[in-house]
Amino acid sequence: MPIAKTLEAFLEQKSASYSTRTHSYTPSSARAAESAAVPGHRLAKGVVLKRPDEGYLLVVLPSDYRVHLGRLHQLLDEEVCLASEDELGALFPDCFEGAIPALGEAYGLETLVDRGLLEQPEVYVESGDHQTLLVFDADTFARLMQDARIVDAGKRI
């Protein structure tokens, strides 16, 4: 399964051009970047957070960053926590566990994007499996993130 069906339909609807880069199986975005010989600051990972009202949002940040929850609590003016694996499975039913595409709009999720990703000449995104990355040029990625809130929500690992 190179590209999750929901993601593929979303990209087609948006007329988004991209290429793919395959790599050996990896369990995390940081390892995917290493395996695909991609700089970690150019691989976007999605982290799903649960809101107090039971809603969800997707934070998109470089794979060599982790979510800074304290900063997000201040930005959002509410407490959020990481979604559980069961919740992720329900939100991303056509993706392998742990291979969340960093394009929340495709799955109906409010999205926050780290400013640093929008400054990259190209951005890589998980396709829904653990072996394929989608490659977007800067303009295409910015267009796909046009409805996302731009934040500084990460902290370099």
Domains of the chain: total: 1
Residue-wise pLDDT for 110-130, tens only, equals: 999 999 999 999 999 999 998
Residue 2: both structure tokens together: 């190179």
Return d(Cα 17, Cα 78) in angstroms, integer.
Answer: 36
Residue-wise pLDDT for 9-24, tens only, equals: 999 999 999 999 988 8
Q: Maximum CA pair distance of the chain?
A: 40
Quick one: which H or E segment has residue 57?
Answer: strand 56-62
Model confidence pTM above 0.85? yes
CA distances from 111 to 1, 63, 115 (A): 25, 16, 12
Task: Flag whether pLDDT at 48 surpasses 60.
Answer: yes
The domain in which residue 145 lies consists of 5-156
Task: Flag whether pLDDT at 1 surpasses 70.
Answer: no
CB 78 within 8 A of CB 112: no
Task: State the CATH number of the domain containing residue 54.
Answer: 3.90.960.10
